[in-house]
Amino acid sequence: MLMTEKVLLDPTPEQRNWLWHMSRVATLLYNIALEQRKGHWLRYHGTKPGINYEHQNGQLVELKKEFPFFLCLYSLVAQEALRLLQKDFNSFFGRLKNQKKNGEDVTARPPRFKSSKYFFTLCYIQSGFALEDGKLVLSGGMEPHTDKKGRVKHRRRRETISIAGYRKLPDKVHSLTITHDRKTGNFYASLVYEAEPLKYEAVRPLKVAAFDPGVKTFLTGADNSGRIIVFDSLVKRTTRYFDGQIDKVKSMRDRCKKGSRRHNMLNDVLDSLYRRRSAQVDDELHAIAKLLAEGEWDVVGVGNPDKLGMVSDAPDKGKGNQAINRAVQNNWPLKKENKFLDYKLEYRGKLFLPLDEKYSSQECNSCGHRMKLDPSVRVYRCPKCGMVMDRDENSSVNLLNRVIAGTAQRRVNYKDFRVRITFHRTLCGKWTHREELLRPA
């Protein structure tokens, strides 16, 4: 399976200049390739077939002959710049087609020229780099030099870049990208490598758990050992704290004149708030995913958050809807969480299951009675069989039964649940949990 690891690079000032130089040349290459496509379109307006990646890639050799400074790029990195342009065009055409088909306003814009102010992400696929003794050896392109007899020759530039405070690097790295963080000025390398999943043998009957993502609690789950598992995590607290700060700074900024020093300063503050929020949320999501992946469950199912995302498209924009929208945006991390869970479980030889959430919150887990519940009603009281359970917990039991249906085990209902475990992560990153007995055994 493929995994990614991001490491902080520690280049010398000279190497920094070199990286920036390559970035600017790659930007230039992207821009002239874009210019070529635009010119072609303006001249022929689609009466002739357009210019595509293969076409431009074929011209790369001649371009380098004519303008030798393009030689400073490793050739596959140059190709990746052209491929990125192709990707950008593809997504533009895709969105355009979709918007036209659905009769929406056309908001899709074709790719734009890139500014050389920003670092152009350099992609190395398969070759042009090596990891040696905890350092990164990176290849550039050919550079001219004069040999002893005074002849001008070209040789490949290679730089050995230190990796900051890092011990063990993955082997079998098959591609990497060099990125730059504008705020801190740091360079990073994201290493994509092939990882061998851990050996794991599941013992039957399988232990399964299912989780219902929610607005009120981040994840509410149930497992087939009779436990309710709740993550009322920091995610909510973190986002609430940052949302408040962000709102405050935003309103302060909007009262300033655009382009003024104060406006710029507040923009920077806002930027750093967004960064810190996302870093903390990511950290939290990784922690939860790790805890679940290292738990005893062989299969972990999570309700599909697509349904939550749909709320934000609701046409009426009342005050109440705004609150829901914000909650939904804060639940955005769910998609990320699923991604983290997916690879963390796969790495441990376990299974992640995205579950269809349809009706899971409307059905009684005991008799299957179905009724609509107002979002504000937190407890499910079944009028048919008298089952009483927390709304999210009922929903997670239903989800659990959907997983169980595939394992040839007995269905469960509310009577099977004896204990509720609520997980908290303290501010220093340690987990604590609280257990409550639900009913005497």
Smallest separation (angstroms) from Zn ion to the CB of 382: 3
Residue 371 in the binding site for Zn ion (CB under 5 A): no
**DSSP notation for 40-68:** HHHHHTTSS----HHHHHHTHHHHHHH-G
- Out of 16, 286, 290, 369, name the contact with Zn ion by CB under 5 A: 369
Smallest separation (angstroms) from Zn ion to the CB of 406: 23
How many residues touch Zn ion (CB under 5 A)? Answer: 8
CB contact set of 399 (below 8 Å; sequence gap of 6+): 210, 211, 212, 222, 301, 303, 355, 357, 360
- Out of 265, 385, 388, 405, name the contact with Zn ion by CB under 5 A: 385
- Out of 387, 389, 404, 412, name the contact with Zn ion by CB under 5 A: 387
User: For the chain, what is the total number of helices (H) and then of strands (E)?
Assistant: 10, 16
Smallest separation (angstroms) from Zn ion to the CB of 385: 3
Residue 395 in the binding site for Zn ion (CB under 5 A): no
Residue 364 in the binding site for Zn ion (CB under 5 A): yes
- The backbone torsions φ and ψ at residue 138, rounded to the nearest 5 degrees and listed phi first, read -115, 135
CA dist., res. 352 & res. 325, Å (int): 27
Residue 382 in the binding site for Zn ion (CB under 5 A): yes
Distance of CA 305 to the CA centre of its chain: 15
CA dist., res. 414 & res. 441, Å (int): 13
Applying CB under 5 A, the span of 17-25, 350-358, 367-375, 421-429 interacting with Zn ion comes to 367-375
CA dist., res. 41 & res. 280, Å (int): 46
- Out of 164, 310, 323, 367, name the contact with Zn ion by CB under 5 A: 367
Smallest separation (angstroms) from Zn ion to the CB of 298: 29
Applying CB under 5 A, the span of 127-135, 203-211, 302-310, 356-364 interacting with Zn ion comes to 356-364
Residues 202-261 that bind Zn ion (CB under 5 A): none
Alpha helices in 316-429 (DSSP H): 319-330, 333-347, 391-404
Tally Cβ neighbours within 10 Å of residue 14: 9
Applying CB under 5 A, the span of 162-170, 253-261, 355-363, 383-391 interacting with Zn ion comes to 383-391
Closest to 211 (Cα-Cα) out of 357, 101, 84: 357
Nearer to Zn ion, 288 or 400 (CB): 400
Nearer to Zn ion, 118 or 359 (CB): 359
Closest to 7 (Cα-Cα) out of 133, 197, 136, 145: 136
Smallest separation (angstroms) from Zn ion to the CB of 381: 9
What string marks each residue from 9 to 28 as x (binds Zn ion by CB under 5 A) or -?
A: --------------------
Closest to 176 (Cα-Cα) out of 120, 119, 126: 126
Give the interface with Zn ion as residue ranges (CB under 5 A). Answer: 364, 366-367, 369, 382, 384-385, 387
